[in-house]
Amino acid sequence: MSIGASLLIQCFIKIINSITFAIQIIPLATENSDRKNFFKRLRKGSDVETEQTEMTFMDHLEALRWHIMRSVIVWLAVTIAIFVFIDWIYDNIILAPTDVKFVTYGALCRFGHWLGIGDGLCMPPVKIDFQINVVNGTFTSAINIAMVGGVIVAFPYIFFELWRFIKPALSAKEKKYARGSIFWVSLCFFIGAAFGYYLLAPFTFNFLASFTLGKSGAIQYKPTVNDYIDSLTNLILGCGIAFELPILAFVLAKIGLITSSFLKKYSKYAFVIILLIAAIITPSPDMTSQLIVALPLLLLYWISILLVARVDKQKAKEEKEWS
């Protein structure tokens, strides 16, 4: 069992234990009114009640606990649903980048012909013979897929719960600026995840499967299923998180920690950091895969500069009105 799968299973066990502990300490009295109050708070949380009054530290912990519980419940529901259809998901989604009919191979080849570079972008489909070298390998692989898939699918709701926890502390003006944040954060995450899945994964697996060590032919390339799943999920989650760069820059600009001039001044250092991030995200050492990640991140960096410049202009306009 791979290290990633082991960590995910340990995390799953800890989450189950946390839910059990949380349920045990919830004061569920026998009265019908208390039961109704419990399920009401589970559905809606305590946002409406706490926005109007000042909360103590324990109130914040109580509110945070309910947000975490609802997020975990939704994540578990999605994880179970994925596990029920694990065979179809494995055949049609997980193994898709190794299929000759995968959309990326044909699209890149046609794009290369359109550019006039012939078969320069055409890649042969990846032929990988997977193996399982542990007794519970297939089961842990299925759990790995279901848990990571649950995080990806439930990401908008998880962020929604995080937003509900932060929202009462914001001013009316800050809430106005943050309008639509759930949509934009989720959109950037899914665009990044799709980028990692449809574009980066084929290049990465194609390079790794075709790379040889020595000319004797003594090495047979037979990676484990867990290694393949870990690499694929790292690409998807890594790109999804990396594509949140414009959102992060916008928030930091609103707080006042960065300005557009600051980002422009240190752009050369940002370029080096982006290359390091690309090297971390891509499991393969080839420059093609790293450039495929680095170029969109550089584009996102300059988009971030434009967003921050817009924030700077709004702040300058507001300061002028108050002066």
The pLDDT, as a whole number, for residue 120 is 64
Digitized pLDDT (tens) for each residue of the chain, 323 residues in all: 444 445 555 555 555 555 555 444 444 444 444 444 544 555 555 444 444 456 677 777 888 888 889 999 999 999 999 999 999 999 999 988 888 788 887 887 887 778 776 766 677 767 777 888 888 888 989 999 999 999 999 999 999 988 888 887 777 777 777 777 889 899 999 999 999 899 888 888 877 777 777 677 677 778 888 888 988 998 899 889 989 988 888 888 887 788 888 888 888 888 888 888 877 766 656 676 677 778 888 888 899 999 888 888 887 887 777 66
Tell me which amino acid residue 159 is: F
Q: What separation, in Å, do the N-terminal and C-terminal C-alpha atoms of the chain show? A: 64
Sign of CA dihedral 289, 295, 298, 303: negative
Number of separate helices (H) and strands (E) present in the chain: 16, 0
Looking at the whole model, is its pTM more than 0.85? no
Whole-number Cα distances in Å, 310 to 19, 49, 98? 43, 35, 43
DSSP state of 131: B
The pLDDT, as a whole number, for residue 6 is 54
The pLDDT, as a whole number, for residue 72 is 92
Contact criterion met (CB below 8 Å) for 237 and 152: yes
Contact criterion met (CB below 8 Å) for 86 and 146: yes
The pLDDT, as a whole number, for residue 81 is 95
* CA pair distance 67, 298, nearest whole angstrom: 35
